[in-house]
Amino acid sequence: MSASDDSRRVHFQSPEYLVDRLDAIADLFDTDRTDLLVEAIREYIEETADSDTFQELVATKYYDGQLDFETAKELVGTETAQRHDRSEERRVGKE
């Protein structure tokens, strides 16, 4: 298991009806609540990271100096972050 796959315990509160529904779904799939939550979070993050709106927000924050390269890379992936980095280098070079 790589360091990025290490588990971290988190605690949050949720409306009871959501937990009840989650538990019912977990029972149907013969799995547990944690597995469903992790999968739902993973899917949400992937969908969000792939959206043009999110990528534009990351680029804007990066260009404004509100995000460093490593954070941008973590949010949108190495290839997209490198594209933004090269764009920033060209933009700064023109000033």
**pLDDT band, residue 78 (cuts 50/70/90):** confident
pTM of the predicted model as reported, rounded to 2 decimal places: 0.69
Q: How far is CA 19 from CA 43, 56, 57, 85, in A?
A: 18, 34, 32, 41
Ramachandran area for residue 2 (φ above 0: left; ψ -120 to 50: alpha; else beta) = beta
The CA–CA distances, whole Å, from 1 to 4, 9, 13 equal 8, 17, 29
pLDDT in tens, 1-48: 345 678 999 999 999 999 999 999 999 999 999 999 999 999 999 999
pLDDT at 2: 46
Q: What values do phi and psi take at 77, rounded to 5?
A: 95, 160
